[in-house]
Amino acid sequence: MDNKDENVVRDAAMPTTPRVGVYICRCGGNISDVVDTEHVAEICRLIPGVAVSKVHTFMCSDPGQQTISDDIKQEKLDRVVVASCSPFLHELTFRGAVVRSKMNPYLYEQVNIREQCSWAHKHDPRGATAKAIQLISAAVGKVSRATPLAKIRLPNHRRALVVGGGPAGMKVAADLAACGISVVLVEQSDRLGGKLHTLNRLFPTGQAAIQLAAKMESQVLADPKIEILLNSKVTKVSGFIGNFEVGIHGNFGPSGKTTEIHTTVGVIVMATGFKPYVPREGEFNYKKHPTVLTTVDFNSLLATQNTEGRTLHYEGRSIGSIAFIHCVGSRQVDGVHTPGPDGRLNTYCSRVCCTTVLNQALQVRQRFPETRVYDLHQDIRTYGRGHEEYYTDASRAGVVFFRYHGDEPPTVTNANGPTSPLRINVKDYLSWGEELELEVDMVVLAVGMTAGPCETLVDQLKLPRGEDDFLQEIHPKLRPVEISVNGVLLAGTSQAPMNIQETLAAAGAAAVKARAMFTTEEVELNPYVAQVDTHLCEGSGVCLTQCEYDGALAMVETQENGHSVRKAQVNPGLCVGCGACVAVCPTQAINVSGWRIDQYDAMVDGLVRDVEPAMV
Amino acid sequence: MAGKFNPDLHLDITGFGGKDIDMCMNCGTCTTICPMSEDSGGGFPRRVIRLIQTGQQSKLEETLDPWLCYYCGDCTTNCPRQANPAETMMASRRYLTARYDFTGLAKLFYKSAVAEILAIILVGLFVTGLFVAFHGPMVLNKVELNTFAPVHAVELGDWIMAAVLSFFLLAGAARMTWWTLGRKKMFRISPLIFIQQIPVFFVHLFTQKRWKKCGSHHSGIRWMKHLLLVSGYLSMLTLVLILLRWFQTDKIYPFYYPQRLWGYYATIALLYPTVDFMISRWRRKEPIHLFSEASDWIFLVMLFLTALTGIMVNIFRVGGLPMATYLIYVIHLSIAVPMLVVEVPFSKWSHIMYRPLSIYLYGVKQAATRANRAADEPASEKVAA
Amino acid sequence: MLSENKFNPKILVLATEACAYPGADAVGKAHLEYGANVYVFRVPSPVVFPEDFYLRCYAKGIDGIMIAACGSDCPYRGAYDRLAARIDRLTTRMKTRGLEIQRIRLTAICTVCIKAYLKEIGQLDEQLRALGPVNKSVAAQLQQTARLEMREALQVHAT
Amino acid sequence: MIATADNERHKDAVIIGGGIAGLQSALDLADQGYKVAVVERQASIGGRMISLSKVYPTLDCASCITTPKMSAAAHHENIELLTYTEVDSITPGPNGHTVVVTRKATHVNADKCIGCRLCEYACDTEYPDDFEQGLGSVRAISVAFTNAIPQKAVLDADYCLACGLCLRACPTDAIEFDQQPRQETIHADVVIVASGFQLNALTIKPQYSAAQNQNVISPLTLERLLAPHGPYGRVLRPSDGKIPESIAFVQCAGSRDQSIGVPYCSRVCCMYAIKQAMLLSGSLPTADITIYYMDIRAFGKGYEQFYQNAKAMGINFVRGKVSKIDSVDKDDLLVHVEYTEEPQDCVRKQRHDMVVLAQGMIPQWNPTSFSPVQIGSDGFVATPDSVSPCTTNVPGIFVAGAAAGPKDIVDSIAEAGAAAMEAGRYLSKRAHLDHTARTVALELIA
């Protein structure tokens, strides 16, 4: 093997005799049912540098972690490798475990032998076992060359930017301000409240949405710690947790003129909300017939229709019957529905529409008893506390239900002329799939939620979106309000469809995370940033040409042996550790800490090493 | 096939006593808990509820389902939405009775207790009037009922009434047959099938044996009581319609003579179940008696009074009280006649015809389907070959 | 065992932390299977690797490399374009000395791209089985020249 | 009872319940610097979630999500765990709430116990294991389960024969037969009720024959059967250990049913049934799996896709509520159901080897008898303020997770964070008031 190339391998990072502890997790059978963990442990003892090699049923459990701690002390380990599940689940757990034993957490390496081994090679136990050994061998190579790293500590600006002045944004702002944290609340429209203004009566309390909006608004307005910027947009954002530089553009301030202000915040909360789905022209006759409305339109109709009467009235005509069609723009089926302008099909459930429809249907029946209501659904999803009551009450109030299949949606046509009643044809699965025909005066389309507008922030901060186009949290259970960019949090419907209560709960959860970030004076960051080996740097400046992040990398003049020389220098707060600079350095003077090229080389060596001599 | 929606149908059925039809969410619990539904081609009672919910009036009129239900109430007890399927079936039977009746009287009587009572009173007064005008001499030293009300005259009245009532009832039966066999489609069914199935009608007319399959143990008891009642009024029908000359005599036969024994049996068979049903309805003991419409009460009360006055005629006659006998006889007929006139073709009693007829028609349909399938099979085999 | 003597290519997947690595995890979570000869390394971004790294891998006995990047979803600005350009240069270099360019594969795998992942892996595996083991010495030579050229480029840059 | 320093303590917050919601609230409060006590009635924290196999929609192993949080709570400097402890009363007062708890006797000295389990191995008295839903057995002295926190043995006096085997086996002399339960008092500014849920009885609908046939099982039992470290290590049906070839999931078996007094939707059953069906079809690839449902309520993020995946995997979804389940040939089951979406012959009796009843979620705990916390008509803690879904009728007492109504893990965790925020706000307001009061007092002195 050609690893003697002096250009490639520097032994500087290699401790004289590393003592690596290897721990293999059975994961209660998840791993050991396929991978022969005992055999792996035995073989791994043969890998150079490995001092201890053990198996445990649950490495992540307390006794599992205790084993590592005990060994670090008793066996004088200086490196630890755990072969278990994906590092996304437990890297932090085990880092914590080694820290408790006074070991540097970055001298720990995790090997994924579950998601990428035992689960992916279920029918090849021999192959999976051999692969586990090679992967551990690679990790031992990497960890042997690992150097102790420390978290980067940066000043923390005790100020939060909340983007969006809807219920989620107002809730986060109010929560944080109540805990003494100053908040900049940016809202692009001219008033706070967001979508609350388009809602009527909220379920399950029946409270008026505008009342809630007013209550929350007055709370936010009264708090001197909250700076509210209406008619404004975030146009520029850069920086990092604790130190985000934000440019806000808008016509606020005394002059009323369009101005731009800059501020520094420690945390950004995305409360950017959702957009209701807008049906295409002609979708269920929308925009082709005057009485085909969406639930959003219908909400304002209900809100403005002050008179109680026998029937509902709309644009001068009496509406004798209404059909609500569920899942418009939600639960779309490939090949049945037409993708939107962005080529996207909304295959997800928008969660709130079922109860919204029933809430509206019930209001119609209660306020306009002679207006008949029909409900065309796929499934009635009144899942929440107090929601099923809407379904029951709507039934009791005489709403008639029809059930269609997603791949056979109902059709809406004009019965006669352009302003005639509407004709709905539905294959009704409550009637054994029979084709039924209804004539109605109005059709209300229960439009779903689509991802809200937040392009600037998404583009500039590179925020990930999910398959559904909503902002993607790191993990729905482990880190539900955090996103892959440190210091950016998700609140409410920017993340997924939610009703108002859920939105407020999610906002509370985001606020609590934000507040926790401000409990320390400084922000702590992972140390995975570029690092320059000044001995090797010849000051070519090639690296600089590759860096996309303003201020992350610079050439500075320093004195060396009495001469002034140019050397590259990294700003760890701005460097994202992408490594674009690394690949071009002719002297290999620059590397990303924790992910150095020589470590990768050592991994490749480990991968091709014949660890298992007796087997071959 | 596109069905049109009549949104008022469920209101109509509610008018006939339908309860909570809107509450049904079509989960299918009632259908599978029902011991009869599988025998009846499935989907029962939900099919009826759904037809009502979706306003498919003509399909509702075409279905036999309501007549195949005997109201054990299991569906109502088990319904997760308390939608009361059993009562909906009951109401559908009333609705269908009204629809089969071309005169519109049935609908009037079902929907308005006042109208029904008024009709009964009118007919009763008419009967009383007849007696007042045309009764024979009243022999007061001994009971001579046949002098007061000559048996041949009463018999003639019986026959006229029977003919008129049969006409209305048969007209209803004809409409039921026409609709449920698919109107013109019924001509495609071989007449042989109609003939073959005739025994079914009579077996069910006399035994109601289908009921035994219905529901839990109390259905069995209810069937027995009902059977008793049926035997009671079939006995009475026979006695007054065919054997009146033998039954209504002035000679007092010894106790063990058949006309007396049969009469007593019929009286008990009428009195015991009606009293029992009235108590049950009053106390709401069984699911079937949870909800009582005026028509249910009127029917039971009239039946009870008819039987009661009937036996009182006998008591007074045997007791040798001429005046009381004549009086109670007039009262008896003034109750019995309107009851029959109103109840038999236009109200609850019509089910004595519709129930066995529905089973007969169901049998015809099944046999026709079997015959069609048998006829189709060779053809499809040919295609396959 | 005889079957084990059959050529079983060693495949290295360089998977991005943000997209492809969780994507590879998702394959396992869905309990879908692929060959145990596929080894995934987690990387922040494959843009970090110089050309000679790939060649060095071949020289050490890795038969094929799949770069599983984030594509347009890359969380790092400009990294994907730079990476694509580098792989272009690498394949040109490989062509000159007869190292099969099928041994390198640049893909974009998202966190839920289960099918894409399996397809790419499957195709690469098939191609490598057809090609047979990598010529280590050719790769070693190529790697040396790549490094030298890099140094030369520096001289040019300096002057 | 006279308070002594030993049995009285002051905390910023007391969390009732050490399940996933309670732990999340505790961690969020502790991360803000508040001192928290978590009161858990079981011997280990982790709640319902730790006993699950895998969780939707990500299909992560439940233990992998729960153990880090359990571990983090156990290691957090601001969190004190009081396991095997019951709450006796919560009394609000002008200076915060007084929470009286009973530390049940574990008969093991927690300071001495090293969790080596030698006592457990030595003990020869067994009884059915609640954690394994009664499928396995547990010794009279044992550590709650493999990944329990704390890893301390508990002796169950109801089953212990006092034979002394454990006493001899224990290397640290930790076993104390004479240990008595003791009452302790916690003074706290806020209380978060995270007492979770339980399932209503498997036999609540006698029509489903659960009392007569062992193969009518609870979904929690199936979770244990599916768990890789479960009682059998694979899925076998309880009555005869046969590998089931046909499994039915009966949805809404304890919810959305007014005839049993649970009109509401239990919210999680559709999704866990789909999840369990997927896991089953993984471990029993040839088995027929049918889910009988009324409405599939796959409403959360990624849930609909999960449902569609299950359909694509070949799991049968039949719309119809099962009315009755009969035993047939002793062990098998006959499910009576109408295939409501099929045009003909819709009433069917389907034979299955095993039936899983989606029992309804009901509250675990009724706080009304020993605290002023009110409950709603559904029995769950009432949340009168719609703006903050975590507040109860009592200022300073908050609620999180399934204690305030059926909820899945994702929503419980989000709500637990919100409850921690509400509690944090309340605490900082109080701190501010205290500070003002102190300043005023100082000014008066001056």
Q: Domain with D376 in it: what CATH number?
A: 3.50.50.60
Residues of B in contact with A370 (CB under 8 A): none
| Contact between chains at D319 and A429 (C-beta distance less than 8 A) | yes
Query: What is the pLDDT confidence band of residue A387, given thresholds at 50, 70 and 90?
Result: very high
- A242's tokens: 């604790």
Contact at 8 Å (CB) between D90 and D99? Answer: yes
Count of CB atoms situated within 10 Å of the CB of C98: 9
State the Cα–Cα distance between residues A186 and A169, nearest whole angstrom.
9
Residue among A313, A314, A281, A277 at smallest CA distance from A294: A277
Distance from CA of D25 to the nearest CA of A (A): 10
> Considering only residues 253 to 272 of chain B, which have any Cβ-Cβ distance to chain D shorter than 8 Å?
none
Tokens 């702002």, residue located: A173
Residue D140 counted as domain residue: no
Instruction: Please report the sign of the dihedral spanned by the C-alpha atoms of residue A130, residue A131, residue A134, residue A135.
Output: negative
Examine the domain organization and report whether D350 and D384 are in the same domain.
Answer: no
Residue D440 belongs to a domain: no
Q: Indicate if A77 and A226 belong to the same structural domain.
A: no
What is the predicted pLDDT for the residue at B151? Answer: 86
| Enclosing domain of residue A84 | 1-151
Paired tokens of D279 = 């896991």
CA-based nearest residue in chain C for residue D55: C29
Q: Quick count: other Cβ atoms within 10 Å of Cβ C135?
A: 17
* D81 & D208 share domain: no
Higher pLDDT, A322 or D231: A322
Cβ distance B54 to A401 less than 8 Å, yes or no, reads no
Question: Based on the domain organization, do A320 and A237 belong to the same domain?
Answer: no
**Do A336 and A441 lie in a common domain?**
yes
Instruction: Indicate the pLDDT class of residue A171, thresholds 50, 70 and 90.
Output: very high
Across the range A128-134, mean pLDDT stands at: 96
Q: How far apart are CA B252 and CA C58, in angstroms?
A: 124
Structure tokens at A553: 């990398």
CATH class, B9-100 region: mainly alpha
What pLDDT digit, counting tens, does each position of A74-94 carry? 999 999 999 998 887 788 889
Please answer yes or no on whether C31 and D60 come within 8 Å at the CB atom.
Answer: no
Interface of B with D in 40-59 (CB under 8 A): 42-43, 46
Asked whether residue A353 is domain-assigned, the answer is yes
Would the pLDDT of D446 be above 60? no
Q: How many residues are given for chain D?
A: 446
Torsion over CA: B235, B239, B241, B243 (sign): positive
Q: What is the pLDDT of residue A95?
A: 92
Question: Which of D223, D215, D354 lies closest to D287 in space, CA to CA?
Answer: D354
Residues D299 and D341 in one domain: yes
| pLDDT at D239 > cutoff 50 | yes
List residues bridging with C48 in a β-sheet: none
Which residue reads 């001056």 in tokens? D446
| Domain membership flag for residue D145 | no
**Alpha-helix runs per DSSP H in C36-132:** 51-60, 79-96, 114-131
For residue D389, the SS3 value is coil
Q: Looking at residues D269-282, what average pLDDT do you find? A: 95
pLDDT at C2 over 70: no
Cβ <8 Å between B2 and A396: no
Within 8 A by CB and 6+ apart from A138, the residues are A111, A602, A603, A604, A605, A606, A607, C39, C41
pLDDT at residue A574, as a whole number:
76
Q: What does the mean pLDDT of chain C come to?
A: 87
Q: Looking at residue A2, what is its pLDDT?
A: 39
Most confident by average pLDDT, A367-371, B141-145, D55-59, D438-442: A367-371
Residue A529 in contact with residue A575, Cβ under 8 Å?
yes
- Are D184 and D248 in the same domain? no
Q: Examine the fold and report which residue of A90, A120, A151 is the final residue of a domain before the chain moves on.
A: A151
The reply to whether A22 and A118 lie within a common domain is: yes
Backbone torsions φ then ψ of A4, nearest 5 degrees: -95, -5
| Burial of A102: CB neighbours in 10 Å, binned 0-12, 13-18, 19+ | exposed
d(CA B157, CA D9): 98
User: Hey, are the CB atoms on A607 and C62 less than 8 Å from each other?
Assistant: yes
Token pair in block for residue D249: 């999931």
Greatest Cα pair distance in chain D: 91
Cβ–Cβ under 8 Å, residues A348 and D305: yes
| Judgement on whether residues D345 and D372 belong to the same structural domain of the protein | no
D204 plus D239 within the same structural domain:
yes
The tens digit of pLDDT for each residue in D166-216 reads 999 887 889 999 999 999 999 999 999 999 999 999 999 999 999 999 999
Q: Which of B45, B119, B54 is nearest to B83 (CA)?
A: B45
Per-residue model confidence (pLDDT) at position D147: 74
Same domain for D323 and D373, yes or no, is no
Helix/strand/coil (H/E/C) assignment for every residue in A71-122:
HHHHCCCCEEEEEECCHHHHHHHHHHHHHHCCCCHHHEEEEECHHHHHCCCC
pLDDT reading at D386 higher than 50: yes
CA nearest to D278 within chain C:
C30
Q: Is residue A505 a part of any domain in this protein?
A: yes
Residue A254: its pLDDT value, please?
67
| Pair A12, A533: CB distance under 8 Å | no
Domain ranges in chain B are 9-100, 105-368
Q: What is the pLDDT of residue D228?
A: 64
The rounded distance, in Å, linking the Cα atoms of B99 and D55 is 57
> For the CA atoms of B158, B159, B165, B170, what is the dihedral angle to 10 degrees?
150
* pLDDT level of residue D397 (50, 70, 90 thresholds): very high
Residue corresponding to tokens 């071959």: A616
Q: For residue A332, give every residue at least 6 positions away whose Cβ sits within 8 Å of its Cβ, in sequence order, or none.
A: A345, A346, A347, A406
pLDDT exceeds cutoff 70 at D436: no
Residue B341, min C-alpha distance to chain A (Å) = 37
**Which residue's structure tokens are 């007039």?**
B330
Higher pLDDT, D312 or A253: D312
Q: Are D324 and B77 within 8 A, CB to CB?
A: no
Whole-number pLDDT of residue D437: 64
Q: Which of D323, D344, D361 is the endpoint of a domain?
A: D361
pLDDT category at C156 given cuts 50, 70, 90 is low
Q: What percent of chain A has pLDDT over 70?
A: 95
Q: Give yes or no for residue C157 having a pLDDT over 90.
A: no
Specify the pLDDT at position B1. Answer: 35
> Could you give the CA distance from residue B52 to residue B65 in angstroms, rounded to a whole number?
13
pLDDT, residue D65, reads 78
Q: With 50 as the cut, is the pLDDT of residue D373 above it?
A: yes
Question: How many helices (H) and strands (E) are present in chain A, helices listed first?
Answer: 13, 30
Would you state the pLDDT for residue D445? 58
Looking at residue A275, its pLDDT comes to: 95
Q: Is A67 inside a domain boundary?
A: yes
d(CA D324, CA D349): 9
Q: What does the pLDDT read at residue B384?
A: 43
D93 shares its domain with D230: no
| Averaged pLDDT, D351-360 | 96
Rounded to an integer, the average pLDDT of D12-16 is 97
Contact A238, A155 (CB under 8 A): no
Tell me which chain D residues have a C-beta less than 8 angstroms from the C-beta of B42. 338, 344-347
Q: Which of A7-16, A524-533, B282-291, D314-323 has the lowest mean pLDDT?
A: A7-16
Contact: D58, C31; criterion CB under 8 Å:
no
Rounded to the nearest 5°, which phi and psi values hold at D28? -65, -40
Of A388, A417, A447, which marks where a domain is finished? A447
User: What pLDDT is recorded for position A533?
Assistant: 93
In a domain, A546, yes or no: no
Residue D115 maps to a domain: no
At D217-238, the pLDDT tens digits run: 999 999 999 886 677 768 999 9
Contact D308 A429 (CB under 8 A): no
Q: What's the distance, Cα to Cα, between the start and end of chain A in Å?
A: 18
How far lies C20's CA from each of A134, A537, C41, C73, in Å? 21, 32, 10, 11
Contacts of C37 in chain A (CB under 8 A): 127, 131
Is the residue at A592 inside a domain? no
Number of domains in chain D: 2
Band the pLDDT of A19: cuts 50, 70, 90: very high
Residues of C in contact with D59 (CB under 8 A): 29-30
Last residue of a domain, which of D334, D361, D388? D361
Query: Do D420 and D297 reside in the same domain of the chain?
Result: no
Q: What is the mean pLDDT of chain A?
A: 90
In this structure, what token pair is assigned to residue B368? 């026709």
Residue D173 identity (one-letter amino acid): D
**CA–CA separation, C81 and C88 (whole Å):** 11
Beta-strand relationship, A321-328 and A442-447: parallel
Domain range for D309: 200-361
The ipTM value here is 0.84
Residues A262 and A185 in one domain: yes
Residues A86 and A2 in one domain: yes
Average pLDDT along chain D? 90
Spatial separation of the C-alpha atoms in residues B21 and D13, rounded to whole Å: 51
Q: Which of A489, A522, A555 is the endpoint of a domain?
A: A522
pLDDT one-digit tens code per residue, A236-288: 998 888 889 999 998 876 666 788 899 999 999 999 999 999 999 999 999 99
The total of structural domains in chain A comes to 3
CB atoms within 10 A of CB D112: 14
Beta bridge partners of A267: A160
D411 in contact with chain B, both atoms CB, cutoff 8 A = no
Closest CA to B357 of B216, B186, B176: B176
For residue D287, name the pLDDT band (cuts at 50, 70, 90): very high
Considering the domain boundaries, does residue D138 fall inside one? no
**At least 3 CB pairs under 8 A between chains A and C:** yes
Q: Which of A446-450, A487-491, D225-229 has the lowest mean pLDDT?
A: D225-229
Whole-number Å distance between alpha carbons of D153 and D108: 7
* pLDDT tens by residue, chain B, 385 residues: 345 678 889 888 998 888 899 999 999 999 999 888 877 776 888 999 999 999 999 899 999 999 988 888 889 999 999 999 999 999 999 999 999 999 989 999 988 889 999 999 999 999 999 988 888 888 888 888 888 888 888 889 999 999 999 999 999 999 999 999 988 788 888 888 899 889 989 988 888 888 877 766 667 788 888 889 888 988 888 888 888 888 888 888 888 888 889 989 999 999 999 999 999 888 887 777 888 888 889 989 999 999 999 999 989 988 888 889 999 999 999 998 888 888 888 888 888 889 999 999 999 988 988 888 877 665 545 444 4
CATH code assigned at A124 = 3.40.50
Q: How many residues does chain A have?
A: 616
Selection from A518, A479, A342, A327 nearest residue A404 by Cα: A327
Domain-terminating residue out of D298, D332, D361:
D361
B384 CB near a chain A CB, below 8 Å?
no
Does B25 sit within 8 Å of D294, measured CB to CB? yes
Indicate yes or no: CB of B54 within 8 angstroms of CB of A397: no
Residues A354 and A456 in one domain: no
And the tokens for A450? Answer: 């689509």
Could you tell me which chains touch chain D, where touching means 3 or more CB pairs under 8 A? A, B, C
Question: Which one, of A246, A143, A381, A116, lies nearest residue D296 by Cα?
Answer: A381
pLDDT tens per residue, range A25-77: 998 778 998 999 999 999 999 999 999 999 998 898 888 999 999 999 999 99
Q: The CATH number of the domain where A315 resides is what?
A: 3.50.50.60
Percentage with pLDDT > 90 across chain C: 61
